[in-house]
Amino acid sequence: MSAASVGPDVHAGRLVSVMHPSRTALVLGSTQPAGVADPGACRSAGVEVVHRRSGGGAVLVGPAEQLWVDVLVPRRDPLWCADVGQAAWWVGEAWARALARAAAMVDLQVWRGALVHTEWSRLVCFAGRGAGEVTGAGGAKLVGISQRRTRAGALFQCSCLLRWEPGQLLALLALDQTARRRAEAQLAAVAAPVGCAADVLLRDFLASLP
């Protein structure tokens, strides 16, 4: 990666970090064991396996895969919310405003309900739905948001899909062929790419932040 994500305890004010992956990596959630990945498949594809400090399922990170932005909010900031179920709502609202401008998207929804678990959500990040995440037409997830919280503040790690090919991700996971085929069929419609240029979307996201 060309930039490293910072933790919520290392900066005194708000901070937005834009990440530009220089190579492809399979990023596992903090609670996922290394055995989730198929080491042989990852080696053959030249894909590094790494862990992030926030929770959730696996994400395939790489050039042109997603727009990855981290937003850091310290506890004393007016945007800080102690309720983890509501803390990311404002972040999702900023993404929804940006998508409406940059991609002329309609039917955008910011999820404000309880965590939605599916058969594959513990394995694949975009298979579930969490607070503040943004969906489009048909309920397809466009923006995933994970949180890392400490006594100092909250870090919101945002991934807005530029491409969605679940088969590419599933090929790197330790699944038998039957499970992999079933997962690919079921995951095809749970998420969708946003269909606009990353630089335009980033400009509008930054402009949409409070």
Query: Is there a contact between 98 and 208 (Cβ–Cβ < 8 Å)?
Result: yes
The pLDDT, as a whole number, for residue 67 is 98
How far apart are alpha carbons 157 and 123 in whole angstroms? 18
How far apart are alpha carbons 145 and 171 in whole angstroms? 23
Q: Specify the residue for token string 């509008």.
A: 204
Q: Would you mind telling me the total number of residues written for the chain in this entry?
A: 210
The pLDDT, as a whole number, for residue 54 is 84
Q: How far is CA 208 from the centre of its chain?
A: 18
The pLDDT, as a whole number, for residue 9 is 52
The pLDDT, as a whole number, for residue 195 is 94
User: Which phi and psi (to 5°) does residue 194 adopt?
Assistant: -85, -20
Other CB atoms within 10 Å distance of the CB of residue 148: 20
| E strand or H helix that includes residue 48 | strand 48-51
The pLDDT, as a whole number, for residue 102 is 97
Give the DSSP letter of residue 36: G
The three-class DSSP label of residue 17 is strand
The pLDDT, as a whole number, for residue 91 is 98
pLDDT profile of the chain (210 residues), mean per 10: 44 88 95 96 97 91 96 96 97 98 96 95 96 96 94 94 97 97 97 96 98
The pLDDT, as a whole number, for residue 108 is 98
Query: Is there a contact between 134 and 69 (Cβ–Cβ < 8 Å)?
Result: no
- β-pair type (59-61, 25-28): antiparallel
Spell out the domains of the chain, with CATH numbers in brackets: 15-201 (3.30.930.10)
Query: Is there a contact between 140 and 131 (Cβ–Cβ < 8 Å)?
Result: no
pTM of the model: 0.91
